[in-house]
Structure 1
């Protein structure tokens, strides 16, 4: 059985998942990097394959709240440029999940987490070295810009399908394209709502989501809204540098924990 129900989770396990759901809400309205921590918690408490199915509806609940909060700040030309490549990545990830067992998925999630942590550190260091973002906040129209969008799109689609871990990939693309805070949050909100909803039929077809797993989701989504409200309050007050360091550290620990299980 690939799905999990509320009755399969211990009280301590549910408490951990509830904290992860709070982080999902917070990440959607404040700092997207917190999603990698939620991913690590879900994969640690639940079987790896089952964790992706349980987490997806929780993410969609966070996406809806983010869209309601930042809907006026989305940049649609960027979204239309990314979607075809993301679709190819989602299909590739679905094929991978058809043949991968729980151990392979767990290792894949661990590797993805460590890779995304490395990408985040690299992005921060290059930004500190004075590497300027692209001038056009919607992404350049040159051939190199289109190749970049397609590359990030495919990787983002694959990682979001296999591990719900497309956030760091898209964050790096949007930041490198020169998006300011509100434009970043608005564009990523619509992006992940559309992508995550499109993943639902694939996840149901793979047996990762059913009525039993949705019962666990119904309990967990109650914790998403408080996290989103706190994120909306904190977005202009949070110490971004310190929080990113904590997220990176937690991501590395979660990735190593999955690889060493």
Structure 2
């Protein structure tokens, strides 16, 4: 088990932030969790420690949003995401983390700028098989390495302007399957060392606390605010990943 106090100083807020996002408040703020923990441990180790905690959070989120999900979208994006996870697993030893950060950053920032630029002209988009499959594959792929599947899938989901609990419930089901599908691949790749699993166990009690806090905040916020927060966090985290990707490639 990791005993460095600085690790827990970073890991505790990282887990709580992820839980709050899974509870429906703040959306893409969860993407800061791996980088925050990576201040102390390698990003791959941070991702491995987080995965069992995320799987528990997903179960709590499923119970929280029970029955509130869009089946049409899930039939489109879930199979595509599994393909993305498989691609991520097969290319895990080859892929450059900085390239992934750069890709997500460009997509996220471009999407938000375009959405705000055209906000007075936009109408809610219906579910789309080809768009959903594309963004589903990309979300599964980026989720595998650094748990950064949120921005790609939100590029597809946010323009549909679903009711807030329906949106968050759909994402809860989506990431439950994505994260559980990642578990066998992480086992095969040797990511679940005893040190990582024991550290996950210590942080596990924070999982339901974070999710319930996020749901509590969601119920006390109006729909417009939730969507604006999603766009703001998508822009901030996309910008952060864009800068990190560029700096990493230049280093």
| Unmatched tracts of structure 1, length 5 or more | 140-144
Structure 2 counterpart of 1:205: 188
Deviation at 1:37, TM superposition (A): 1.5
1:151 to 134, 149, 156: 134
CA displacement, residues 132-172 of structure 1 (integer Å, 9 cap, x when unaligned): 1224xxx2xxxxx2211211111111111122111121122
- Asked if the contact 1:98–1:206 (Cα under 8 Å) also holds between the matched residues in 2, the reply is no
Write out aligned runs for 1:50-199 (5 A).
Answer: 50-100=45-95, 104-105=96-97, 107-122=98-113, 124-126=115-117, 128-135=119-126, 139=127, 145-199=128-182
Distance in 1 separating the partners of 2:38 and 2:113: 25
Contact 2:104 2:152 in 1 (8 A): no
Q: Take 1:188 and 1:63, find their aligned partners in 2: how far apart are those partners?
A: 10
Deviates more, 1:182-191 or 1:168-177: 168-177
Q: Is the 8 A contact 1:42 1:55 kept in 2?
A: no
Cα distance, 1:115 vs structure 2:
2.9
Q: Within 1, Cα distance between the matches of 2:118 and 2:219? A: 20
Task: Mark the CA change 1:21 to 1:112 in structure 2 (over 3 Å): closer, same or farther.
Answer: farther
Task: List runs of 5+ in structure 2 lacking aligned partners.
Answer: none
Q: 1:250 to 1:152 in 2, by over 3 A?
A: closer
Q: How many residues align structurally?
A: 243
Change over 3 Å in CA distance of 1:84–1:244 after alignment to 2: closer
- Tell me the TM-score normalized by structure 1: 0.82
